[in-house]
Amino acid sequence: MLKRNRQGRIKPGLILLTGFLIIVAGVRLFFYFKHDRDKLGVVTVEYTEKMLGLKFEHKERAQMLRDLDRNKRKFDRIRKIPLPNSVPPALHFHPLPGVSPAVETRKRPLSLPRTPVTLPEDRSELAFYPLTKLALLIRSRKITSTELTELYLERLKTYGPRLECVITLTEYLAREQARRADAEIAAGRYRGPLHGIPWGAKDLLAVKGIRTTWGAAPYKDRVFDEDATVVKKLEEAGAVLVAKLTLGELAWGDVWFNGRTRNPWNPEEGSSGSSAGSAAAVAAGLVGFALGSETWGSIVSPSTRCGTTGLRPTFGLVSRTGAMALSWSMDKIGPICRSAEDCALVFDAIRGPDGKDPTVVDRPFPWDRARKVASLKVGYYREAFEKLKESRDNQNALDVLEVLRGLGLELVPVDMPRLPIEPLDIILSAEAAAAFDELTRGNGDDLLVRQGEDAWPNVFRQSRFIPAVEYIQANRIRTLLMTDLAHKLEGVDVFVTPSFGGNVLLLTNLTGHPAVVAPNGFNDKGTPTSISFIGNLYKEAETLLLAKAYQDATDFHLRRPPLEDDALPEEKKPEDE
């Protein structure tokens, strides 16, 4: 009961308080009943947070609603797939925690073509030479690693700021490695085709004593005390690290904490991502080659935009030790180069177990550049090509089939599994949210540049509501997907597909198949388009051979972007180590 004053009247303050409480209760009821039973509301999210021990702001809850409803629909679709008890999830357990039982076998460096190579009159032309030519020049001592390193460092300083593709120049380290390479080669200790070649690392790869930012402000000053395994392997091969290159924040897109990486063919647009800087730097002739990584298109997409050639290896062939983890069951590291043969040289150097990444297996890489392409059984993704409509992009893809047939190949149609693919992206979302759990709970995600619905902060938050049961069920469907695709590709070495045809990009990242993406022409805006060659599991040699045969018959991979000579203002220049 409300208390009255001595005159028997209700106190005004109590009336206001009571009215306020009634309004608050009404507002909460309004939001509660605003959505029907099948839709989620802000109040529902708030109550669920309490159960999970989380605390988000009201605007963050509202931002999640669209994707939470979308996830619910995905769960509904996943639950419609029959899953007998005998179907396991696509996960593997090793009884030795954190240690791979595989032992790395010794391997010889790949051989180089015997075609004589001469130095160009204009030394700047070397910036666009493929590795096969640069390696021959260095091995024959027609040019030194130091000379080549200085050439690339100068180009990185000139064009890197305009393209916003460099986070850290590693000048001191590069010059030391180049001097060492020159001394070893002069003494007759040639390590192989990457000896003395300058390269760039996507900045999610740890380099001892040099900051590794993951492209994100919360980590922009982080320094590791050990090199990533692939960095070690390239140092052992004699390669020279000249720069840490940009990536989209935490491996999404081309926006990083200090800018947006530009497409060398059109600096007004981004280079796509997340291996944004790796693709842009290779295309612009700022490095001899680069390493990128892919979880769901992060090598294929920027290579398409920038006109480079990229290799996404079979899952489990390249160690990810020392690389930022986004999705433990999907992350892959691979090279971005000027040609398929260049990719073969780099892949051979970085592949194989390290005793630290338990997913890595040791498989042979029988690369033979002289093998006849007609020995391959090649397919094409029938449905994707049949859906192509009239446009230059699509005509470029159709032209690839004619080039391959002109090489004497009889292309066989292949179909993809009919199981739903798109709902399985909750596997990536859940693993990424787990990888950055501390960032979310500590509100460090507020420091990221991108804050919209389609950005990591929101994805990390809404992924906290993916039930563990659905994550496991999605992985069990992934097992069905892997089995089905294996049947459909039985007897096929490689199949060709539009790079973004259907759901082939997500599908083959989930199943772990290798891919080589190569430029195949230009669109109406004058920027590159691409085609993808998808190999059967562990058939990198065959996949690269087919891509090489295509490139030998065309010249799209030899085209260069029309770079200007101006650079961005001083404050945009990359930092030194």
Residues with a catalytic annotation lie at 202, 274, 298
Look at residues 491, 494, 489 and name the one whose alpha carbon lies nearest to residue 548: 494
Burial status of residue 293 (CB atoms within 10 A of its CB: 0-12, 13-18, 19 or more)? buried
Q: CB burial class (10 A; 0-12, 13-18, 19+) of residue 383?
A: middle
Do residues 323 and 230 lie in contact, with contact meaning Cβ atoms separated by under 8 Å? Answer: yes
Query: For residues 456 and 67, what is the distance between their CA atoms, to the nearest angstrom?
Result: 12
Cis peptide before 124 (omega within 30 of 0): no
Q: What is the DSSP letter of 557?
A: G
CA distance 9 to 521: 85
Terminal CA-to-CA distance of the chain, rounded, Å? Answer: 72
> Any alpha helices (H) in 80-207, and if so which ranges?
131-139, 145-163, 171-186
DSSP 465: T
d(CA 543, CA 347) in angstroms, rounded, equals 13
Contact by Cβ (8 Å): 300, 310: yes
Return the number of other C-beta atoms located less than 10 Å from residue 42's C-beta: 20
Residue labelled with tokens 């380290």: 173
State the CB neighbour count (10 A cutoff) for residue 18: 12
- Distance in angstroms (rounded) separating the CA atoms of residues 520 and 445: 38
Report the SS3 class of residue 227. Answer: coil
Measured between alpha carbons, how far is 385 from 388 in angstroms, rounded to an integer? 5
Using DSSP, state whether 125 is helix, strand or coil.
helix
The two tokens of residue 181 are: 């390479």
Rounded to 5°, angle at Cα 539 from 536 and 545: 115
User: What is the C-alpha to C-alpha distance for residues 22 and 65, in angstroms, rounded to an integer?
Assistant: 26
Amino acid symbol at 247: L
Per-residue tokens: 465: 């509501």
Q: How far apart are CA 161 and CA 500, in angstroms?
A: 30
Do 152 and 288 form a contact (C-beta atoms < 8 A)?
Answer: yes
In angstroms, the CA 278 to CA 289 distance is 8
Nearest Cα to 250, choosing from 287, 283, 298?
A: 298
Tell me which DSSP letter residue 378 carries.
E
